[in-house]
Amino acid sequence: MTGKERREQLLDIGRRLFAERGFEGTSIEEIAAKAGVSKPVVYEHFGGKEGLYAVVVDREVDRLLTLATTLLDGGDTMPKFQAAAVKLLKYIEDNADGFRILVRDSPPGSGTGTFGTLLSDIAGQVEYIVGDFLSARGQDPKLAPMYAQMLVGMVAFTGQWWLDARKPQLEDVAAHLINLAWNGLSQLDPAPRIPAEIMAQQHEEDDPADGR
């Protein structure tokens, strides 16, 4: 192999092992053995397991962020979001190992780690789309950051769940995902409120002494 071919081979093997066993459960010895090379060859290309892992993660982040940026371009129409949902789930299906590595690094909702940072970046882009969507329907665009977090979180958790479940079929999951997101946004209550009696009940449960 050329040096470039060997590097790609090591990345492919490392990507698969990191996805199966995590960073701690993967060793340089095993990566080298599966590639049919000695450990020094791996060190020569990446400086160690940390270097190899960093390249694998960076590639997945770039791939997913590029996809998200592409999907968010264009007008805010239902067909656009339907196509985006299909392409996102297709990315997860075709890049299962890479997506597992990102999720293991920082599960959706953690707010930290590579994947958490990536989701925050995507939510920042979604925020502008949601703001325009709300304004066009007479809603308060200041709520866009909150709704952006909700939408991105919903998609991230659904993708993580579907990666293991693999059913219903991709197109069915995408259809129901957009059904909830699009119809939910289209029919927002302009001033949603939790009934006072429910909040009063919660206060009593939080502090029983108040109910005496």
Mind listing the pLDDT tens digit for each residue in 96-109?
A: 999 999 988 776 76
Q: Which residues 6+ apart lie within 8 Å of 151 measured at CB?
A: 123, 126, 130, 181
**pLDDT range class, residue 210, cuts 50, 70, 90:** low
Task: Please give the average per-residue pLDDT across 143-172, as a whole number.
Answer: 93
Q: Are residues 80 and 152 in the same domain?
A: yes
> The tokens of 118 are what?
């990536």
Highest mean pLDDT (candidates 33-42, 63-72, 131-140): 33-42
Q: Tell if the pTM clears 0.85, that is, is over it.
A: no
Q: Which residues 6+ apart lie within 8 Å of 86 measured at CB?
A: 170, 171, 174
Q: Are residues 38 and 101 in the same domain?
A: no
The pLDDT assigned to 1 comes to 83
87 Cα distance to chain centroid:
13
> The tokens of 67 are what?
């996809």
Q: Are residues 145 and 43 in the same domain?
A: no
pLDDT digits (tens, 9 = 90+) for 49-89: 999 999 999 999 999 999 998 888 877 788 988 999 999 99
The pLDDT assigned to 146 comes to 95
The pLDDT assigned to 34 comes to 96
Q: Are residues 116 and 136 in the same domain?
A: yes
**What residues make up the domain containing 94?**
59-196
